[in-house]
Structure formats: C-alpha cells, structure tokens
Structure 1
Amino acid sequence: MDQSNPYTAYHPRMTISPPFAPEGNVLVVGGGLVGASLAIALDAAGCHVTLVEAAAPRADAQPSYDERNLALARATVNGLTAIGVWPLAAAQATPIQHIHVSRAGEFGSARLDAARHGVDALGWTLPARELGAALLRRLDACQRLVRLAPASLTGLAKCADGWRAQIKTPDGAQHIDAALLVGADGTESFVRAQLGIQADVHDYQQTLFVCTVTPERDPANRAWERFSDEGPIAMLPLAERRCGLVLTVDSEMAGAVTDLNDADFIALAQRRFGWRLGRLNRPGKRHPYAIKRVAARGLIAPRAVLVGNAAQTVHPIGAQGFNLGLRDALTLAELVAAAADPGSPDLLERYAARRAPDREGTMAMSHDLVRFACMPEPWLAPFRSLALLAYDRVPPLQQALARRGMGFRGEPPRAVLERLP
C-alpha cells in the first residue's frame, strides 16, 4: 500500500469482541444499494443482522437496481472494496480519469485530472444493475445475516431495550426484536414516518432522463457536466466507447420528452450537450425520474437511525446520492462494530455528529450548485465563469474540489481511506 498517497484505501478486517447476543440484533429495513451494503458491513463486523427486503433476492427484480449508471466516487470504491463487494463488480466498471465542468454560452470551465492528484482514477462508472448483482452475491456469502425477502415492515412497537417489528412475509407475519432499528427504506421511508421524524421536501420541478448513447468520439475515461438555463446534462464514460447520458428537463416538458422518437431525443441531447464527442447515436431505453430534495430533520431516534435516501435524498447533480449513503452505512457499521450495545444513545449521538459535516456540506453543494449554475440571469454569467476558472487554476481550490468529489469530506469512515491530505 502506498503510504504517501492520501487517497490510498484502508481495508480493515472489522471485528467485534464479544459477538452480539441475539438480543443485540440489528434490524435493517430496506435492501437497496445502501441497506445491502450496511448489512454486509455489519455481518463482516460479527453483528447479528436481519435485513428486510421488499423484493425477492434477484438483481433484475430489485427496484433500486435499475438502468441508471452510477458515478462512484473514489472513496466509495475503497469502501466497497473493504466489504468485499468491489471485486465482484470491478470488471464491469469504467474509470473516470478526467472531469470537465462548463456552462453553455459562458467562457469558464473547470477540469479535474486524476494524474494531477496522484491517483489512477477520480472515480468509476458502473451500471446500478451490476452493483446490485454484486451486492446480492456478497450477501449470499454472509455468515450471520438473516434475510427476509420478499418482506415488508408493517408496524413498530417500542420495547424496553429496542423495537419490536412486525414483518409481513409470504409465510405470514413475524415479530423481530432489535436493539437497533435502521431505516434504509428510501425517500418515502416508512421507518422515518413511524419514528415521527419530519422531513423537508423541495420539488425542483425537474425530471431526469437517463439512457446510454454511443458518441462518435471515444470519451476516453472523461466525464462531462454541462449546465444551461434548461438544466444540467451529463455524460459518463462506459465500456465499449458508450456513455451514460443524464438529461434534466422541466417537469412540464417530461411528457413531451418521453414521447419523442429516438432521433428527436438525440437531437435534443445534442443541442444541450454540444459536439465535444461528435455526433451522438444509438440511444438506449429512456427512464424518467422526478427530482426532489428530501431532508430528514433528524437522523436518530431512541434505538433507531436513518441512512441513505431515508435520511436525505439529494439532487442527482454531481452524482452524490449513493456515495453519501454508503458513507452513512460504513460510518454506522464502524461505530456499531466497536460498541457493546448497538443502539446506545451515545453511539447514535456520535453517529449523527460524525455524519453532520459530510451530510450538510454535500446537500448544500448539490442544492446550491443546481440553483446557481442554472439560473438564467445574465448578470450571473461572469461570476459563474470566474468561479469555474478559479476552481480550475487555483491549486487549493482545485485540491478541495477534487477531495470532495472523490468522497473525502468531514470525518469519513475508516473503511474508505487511510488518512486525509
């Protein structure tokens, strides 16, 4: 391991002594990308974990293992390596070695280069379905984990040392007692509602369309983020010289864009993105997603905690959603692995404090960036260009941008890095 490189992965063998007794069980509700990652990390730490998954354990049936192409930060790949998932997915991943950020009609741009920061890649792109398949394979190898799938949480009752959860399964209702309840059940979290934790919601009135395209020119491991009055558009490098297209439109236009034929959709994307990669061709099946920001007003309750989209759903600009959620999961697993009681108030308070700088900074960045970069007021143009030029050419700003883009913000879990610069 390169001790001089601040971004080198640290892959601890998580242990716990003594192992949790059955009454120390951790119940994770939600088997999506973040919930599955948390269950794997806790199992590796020697915890007794029950994972409640809404869908049967098949990659093509998981609701969050869809056609999106994920941009995984470097810290995320370090963390997935630490829990044994990345080796099962790496062959399908494409490195991001360059990032180019610009605004249509304005002169400024910011460029990030992996070599400039002493790493082989700033991150990697991977189809969400491939990551889902890798997680399911790794779940199959877990030793202590109990998986209930398909199953759903239908009720919660507080008891002396935790929660009694009522679970609906094809074989009938079950009751599970847990010392710690984890809500990893997505944006419309049932756990969050049952705990009485309120959430602030901001509807961006935007719809995201994702698909694959084949550009005329090789993207050469470069990712592009392009802003305009109409919203952001991104291109992510994929295998076989393809790109993952991420196109944002006003929600009132979503129906019309859905109805476009392939030629007209490509023409729209070409106009919005430009010709840096030459002519775009061969669009894949399009998938629309309504965009809203949902922020829980608290992360913890007595013997309960929220992670991933149940805690915060951010604008997809900058591709921070899963990256942020995985840092939630690995931080929680790190704290639980070192504790005698997984649901103690002290542990949960430390979790909330650890996550606050990363969570708040990432949420503010994604929210403010989409507003500032896409506002149509002409007087903003020179300020935006100067800001991009500063990030491109001022070394401390460039370093900060790269560090945060690679997922090293606040006090990250030890599983994602050895030390910070």
Structure 2
Amino acid sequence: MNAPLSFPHSNSGVLIVGGGLVGASLAIALDAAGIAATLVETVAPRADQQPSYDERNLALARATVNGLDAIGVWRHAAARATPIRHIHVSRAGEFGSARIDAARHDVDALGWTLPARELGTALLRRLDECTRLTRLAPATLQTLQPLATGWRAGIATADGVRHVDAALLVGADGSESFVRTQLGIDAERHDYQQTLFVSTVTPERDHAGRAYERFADDGPVALLPLAERRCGLVLTVPAAQAEAVATMDDEHFIALAQQRFGWRLGRLSRPGRRHPYAIHRIAAQQVIGPRAVLVGNAAQTIHPIGAQGFNLGLRDALTLSELLASASDPGAADLLRGYAARRAADREGTMAMSHGLVQLACLPQPLLGPLRSLALLACDRVPPLQRALARRGMGFRGEPPLAVLERLP
C-alpha cells in the first residue's frame, strides 16, 4: 500500500477546527474582516452531511439575527425565517405566567425561528462567497504540535496529510472537542437524565408569532412559530422514558405532547418526524490556552432550555472576530485574556440561567410552586424585571459584540 501523500507546510493566521454553525459563522466573520483563515471540517461541505445542520428549529435571538445580517448570512436565510413577536412562559399546574411582547419593547420581533438545516444552507452559501478563507473538507485534525509562534496542525484530507502552521488555533469542534482535549483543558459535565425530542405539529389555532415555553416535573416543552401555521415542538422527557417515546405511534406521541403542553393553541395534530437528543451540560474550565481559544459547544454545551446554545456561541464567534480585526498578532496572550474577560459575564450568566431554570422550574417540589408563580408574575408585571428579561431574551447580555447591536438606518 502506498503511503499517504504529505504536502509542504502552509501558513494561516487562524486555524478553525469545526465547520458547524459556530465555526462556519466565525470563518465568515473573519473573512468579512479581511483576516485569512483555514477552516477544517470532518464532512463534505453539504447541508445534509453536517451533523449540526439538523432537524432542530432554532429560536434565533434578535441580537443573533443582527449578527448574522452583519456578516452577510441573513440575506440567504431571511425568507425561510418566522418572526417571534410574543413569548409566553408558564409552569404546568401553577398560576402566573411571564409574557414578553415585541411591540411593548418597540421592536418588530424578539427573534426569529429558523430550522437548523436552513441556517446551515445559508452559511454554506455565504462560505462560497468568501475570498480569504481556505476550506479543507472532508478533513480531520490528527496532530497538533506547539510552536513558539503558534501551532502546527497535521490534517488528513482525501489527498493526503497537510500541515498548517497557525498563529491562533480555534476549537469549534463541538461538545466532545478534540482541540479541548489536546490543549489539556478539563470540562465539568452534568447529565440531566433527560432526552429532548424535536418535531413539528399543526395547532388548531394560529400561533400568531407566539413562542411558548412551559415547565413541568418531567422537563420543559416548547412550541416555536413556523411558516404555514406549523409549530416546532421541543418535548423533554426523562431519559428512562426516551425509548418508549421514540417508538410511540403518531397518535400516542401527539397525545403526550398535548398533555404536556396544554390547550392554549387548541388541538395539536399532524406530528412530523421526531428526533431525540440526550441532554448534557459540558463547561470547559477555561476557554483559552496558549495561542488557542474555544468557542461554541467546545467551550460550553448548555441545556437547550431557552434556546440559548447557538445564540451564545455566535456571540463567542463575533466577539473573537471583532478583537482579531484590530490585532497584529491573532494569538497574542493579552488579546486572548481580553477575549476571555469580555465573554465571562455573558457566558457565566447564560450557563447559570439555563442550569438554574432546569433545577428550579422543573423541580417537583410543591412548596416551590407559590414562589415560582410569584417570580413569573413579577417578570410579567414589574417593568424593570420585564425590561431585563426582554433584553436578555433578545441576546443583549454583558458586553455584546458590536455586530449584534441595533444599527440605525
């Protein structure tokens, strides 16, 4: 057998490992900022090949859509997105609810719902427009060697092994990040013992752009507005019940969804294909290393409650690209420390919120019921709390990247 070909070393200012939603967004943002980068992805550049371009319906916060628009992605996706004009949060069996209305906060939408596969397609179209980006796909990072000025990566491609020297290594390679492991960064893990099922349903009543999040002892359930009066269903069940739910026929599955969600939109019908996802929390103990940084799920994988995962990861990517745009050395220690400090409040706050909501809102403790109800009522009726809830729900947390801020005409 012939040995695989080995190519000469090439140089890249930034090497991004992982071409999922966050990695691709970072690559596009860097290209828009005039920064040369190399993107390594394990699958071919097709929406049906990339695991993160899947059947989930993403609730994209307003700040996220601003950011996607700023880097030229949103024009490829806007026609397939559905605006979220109202959000309704409640707890099964308890009084009170929190409602956020876009008009009350002087915006046309709080966010938009978009299938992950559609966002993936938009990212691929925008990647095709990049002029400073080198894309290696399908390709696999095999080795990393530290250098005084960065990293030397050994990358297996269909044509042989390529070696790329980079001043900055970016791990955007998901929850089980190879880059994180190679950097020796530990991660805290928590198994929620829950499985999330995503599907679509048709409600009897028009959703009117309203998104619902409903908590219960067995976990949260959400309905997200989609086109043609459809809704994206997010149904969380205890892990021990996952196999039984996966094998239910449509009649029994829709009955379970109805029982868990209630009747605010009337009878639910016509369930689409369902897809299960085991839910874990993975938090890297640090997000930077020597000339290296972790973004997206490689840095933090959070409970999908509140749909904050990609929204948080995109803010990682846009903050990093913003700092790199004015840097002479993309891997400089001061720059990376500045990045970590700037992302700390948003990252820690979002992780704490998602974890705390699961622990408190879904905890089967009757004595907590009145306190939870009062908290919902306060968020609904106390103006400062309402404004804070709306601002965070729209993705404006901590010191956000400039790309996500509202731009005046």
- TM-score w.r.t. length of structure 2: 0.96
- In the other structure, the counterpart of 2:13 is 25
Q: Offset at 1:230?
A: 1.1
Deviation, 1:91, is: 0.2
Could you say which residue in structure 2 is the equivalent of 1:131?
Answer: 119
How far did residue 54 of structure 1 move?
1.0
Contact 1:24 1:342 in 2 (8 A): no
Q: Distance in 1 between matches of 2:108 and 2:203?
A: 24
User: Shift of the alpha carbon at 1:60?
Assistant: 1.2
Secondary structure of the 2:395 match is coil
- CA distance in 2: counterparts of 1:75 and 1:117, whole angstroms: 14
Q: 1:148 aligns with which of 136, 148, 163?
A: 136
Deviation at 1:24, TM superposition (A): 5.6
Is the CA contact (8 Å cut-off) linking 1:57 and 1:136 kept in structure 2?
Answer: yes
Give me the whole-angstrom Cα distance separating, in 2, the residues matched to 1:152 and 1:145.
Answer: 17
Whether contact under 8 Å (2:12, 2:38) holds in the other structure is: no
In 1, Cα distance between the equivalents of 2:366 and 2:325? Answer: 53
Structure 1: distance between partners of 2:219 and 2:334? 43
AA of the residue aligned to 1:87: R
Aligned to 2:223: 235
Query: Residue in 1 aligned with 2:390?
Result: 402
- Residue 290 (structure 2) aligned to one of 302, 306, 331: 302
Residue 302 of structure 1 aligns with an amino acid whose one-letter code is P
Instruction: Give SS of 1:309's match.
Output: helix
Alignment of 1:4-153 (within 5 A): 23=11, 25-153=13-141
How big is the shift at 1:23?
4.8
Runs of at least 5 residues in structure 2 that lack an aligned partner in the other structure = 1-9
Out of 264, 277, 302, the position equivalent to 1:276 is 264
Are 1:217 and 2:201 matched, yes or no?
A: no
Any idea what SS the aligned residue of 2:199 has? strand
Structure 1 Cα separation of the partners of residues 392 and 89 of structure 2? 15
Query: C-alpha displacement at 1:149, in angstroms?
Result: 0.3
The letter for the 2-side match of 1:144 is R
Asked whether 1:248 is paired with 2:206, we answer no
Matched to 1:368, the amino acid is G
The runs of 5 or more residues in structure 1 that have no matched partner are 1-21
Q: Is 1:201 matched with 2:189? A: yes
TM-fit CA distance, 1:96: 0.2
Q: Compare 51-60 and 320-329 and name the one that shifted more.
A: 51-60
**RMSD, matched Cα:** 0.8
- Contact kept, 8 Å, 2:151 with 2:165, in 1: the verdict is yes
TM-score, structure 1 normalization: 0.94
Q: CA deviation at 1:257?
A: 0.4
Letter in 2 for 1:264: H
Question: What is the rounded CA distance, in whole Å, between the counterparts of 2:82 and 2:39 in structure 1?
Answer: 30
Aligned to 2:145: 157
Q: Distance in 2 between matches of 1:313 and 1:299?
A: 12
Aligned amino acid, residue 237 of structure 1: P
Of 321-330 and 22-31, the range deviating more from structure 2: 22-31
The residue matched to 2:152 in structure 1 has which SS?
strand
Partner secondary structure for residue 179 of structure 1: strand
Residue 132 (structure 1) shift: 0.1
**Aligned AA (2:68):** L
* Letter of the 1:417 counterpart: L
Q: Which moved more, 1:22-31 or 1:101-110?
A: 22-31
Q: 1:377 maps to what in 2?
A: 365
Q: Give 1:380-391 correspondences, 5 Å limit.
A: 380-391=368-379
CA drift at 1:418: 4.6
Q: Secondary structure at the match of 2:191?
A: strand
| Distance in 1, Cα, partners of 2:215 & 2:392 | 20
TM-superposed CA distance for 1:169, in Å, is 0.6
Identical amino acids, percent of aligned pairs = 78
Residue number in structure 1 paired with 2:246: 258
Could you list the per-position Cα deviations for residues 349-395 of structure 1 after superposition, in whole angstroms to 9, with x for gaps in the alignment?
00000000000000000000011001111100000000000000000
Contact 1:200 1:297 in 2 (8 A): yes
Contact preservation (8 Å) 2:66, 2:406: no
Partner amino acid, structure 2, of 1:91: A
In 1, Cα distance between equivalents of 2:109 and 2:406 = 17
Task: Give the structure 2 partner of residue 327 of structure 1.
Answer: 315
Asked whether 1:287 is paired with 2:285, we answer no
- Work out whether residues 41 and 83 of structure 1, in 8 Å CA contact, stay in contact via their aligned partners in 2: yes
- SS of equivalent residue, structure 2 residue 222: strand
1:24 and 1:341 in contact (8 A); partners too: no
Q: CA deviation at 1:25?
A: 1.4
Matching residue's letter, 2:357:
L
Q: Provide the aligned length of Structure 1 versus Structure 2.
A: 398
Which one-letter code corresponds to 1:356 in the other structure? Answer: A
